[in-house]
Amino acid sequence: MTKKNKRVISRKTKNTIELTLMYLVIAVMAVIIFYPLVWAFGMSLNPSSNLYGASIIPENWSFVHYEWLFTNPRSNYLLWYKNTLTVALSVSLIGTLITGFTAYAFSRYRFKGRTYGLYAFLLLQMFPVLMAMVALYILLNTIGLLDSLVGLIIIYVGGSIPMNAFLVKGYFDTLPQELDESAKMDGAGHFRIFFQILLPLAKPILAVVALFNFMSPFMDFILPRIVLRSPEKYTLALGLFNFVNDQFANNFTRFAAGAILIAVPIATVYLFLQKYLIGGLASGATKG
């Protein structure tokens, strides 16, 4: 066997090993990601309420827990779902719009304090949100928005602006300013330039921001736990927690059913924005 053939075989062997390792890593990650989902769905179909009596493949599967969530008079699940959707949609729409305005201002205008404002955005991301919880609690209590969905929306919107504005600003920077100048020559004002020219071009990155803003209220537990007190104002994360605490004993299977249904609106929004998400994430990674 010649040296050239040996090198070819060695290269093929190396490629095979690398490909095998890559698939092995993907398989391990798939198990880590999908196993909890499959287990939660299997638990939700178990008619019992005991965690230890549940199995990933129930023998006598039933939709009794889903039925209880929607039909039982003692269940506030639909109310919690409504509250969460209200907060999520409000945060997504308002937060994305304000983020777009902020990013546009920092990208297109040169004003005093602009550089320090960008530094402030970066600095705010270095501190964990928990550091501000006491201050936010006192602030909402002072202005009368404690135990209010409006107060929760304000905090979510304000917390989403710094990082998202910095991300969208990087995207706006890649759009040629000649577009603005041409529009100004045609008599367009700042709002018209933003809404009719830059906003359509920035749909991919704004779709990413809208999705992240929409997902936050569904996933967050700590902030609603601090802000909300009345059960009728709970979000899903806070309400479902009651299924597994001391008050409601061991309703883990009911908790699993409620948790599975959280994926429905998130998946719907994801599919609706899917055509923009890939381009937005790629642009944010390469142009930001």
The answer to whether the Cα torsion of 240, 244, 249, 254 is positive or negative is positive
The predicted structure's pLDDT at residue 285: 42
Tokens of 236: 């899903």
> What average pLDDT does the segment 97-113 reach?
89
Question: Which residue would you say has higher pLDDT here, 80 or 2?
Answer: 80
How do residues 137-159 score in pLDDT, each as one tens digit? 898 999 999 999 999 999 999 88
pLDDT beyond 80 at 182: yes
Name the band, by pLDDT with cuts 50, 70 and 90, for residue 52. Answer: low
pLDDT beyond 80 at 261: yes
pLDDT beyond 80 at 263: yes
Contact predicate 263/218, CB 8 Å:
no
The predicted structure's pLDDT at residue 246: 54
pLDDT beyond 70 at 249: no
> What average pLDDT does the segment 208-231 reach?
90
Helices (H), the chain: 3-44, 64-71, 77-108, 114-124, 133-143, 149-173, 178-185, 190-193, 199-201, 203-219, 222-227, 236-241, 252-287
The predicted structure's pLDDT at residue 274: 76
The predicted structure's pLDDT at residue 286: 43
* Residue position matching structure tokens 């569904």: 218
pLDDT beyond 90 at 64: no
| pTM to 2 decimal places | 0.82
Q: Where does 76-287 sit in CATH, by number? A: 1.10.3720.10
How do residues 23-35 score in pLDDT, each as one tens digit? 899 999 988 888 8
Lowest model confidence (mean pLDDT) among 184-188, 198-202, 264-268 = 184-188
pLDDT beyond 80 at 231: yes
Mean pLDDT of the chain: 82
- Determine the Cα–Cα distance for residues 60 and 190; give it in Å rounded to an integer: 63
pLDDT beyond 50 at 288: no
Question: Which residue would you say has higher pLDDT here, 178 or 124?
Answer: 178
The predicted structure's pLDDT at residue 25: 92
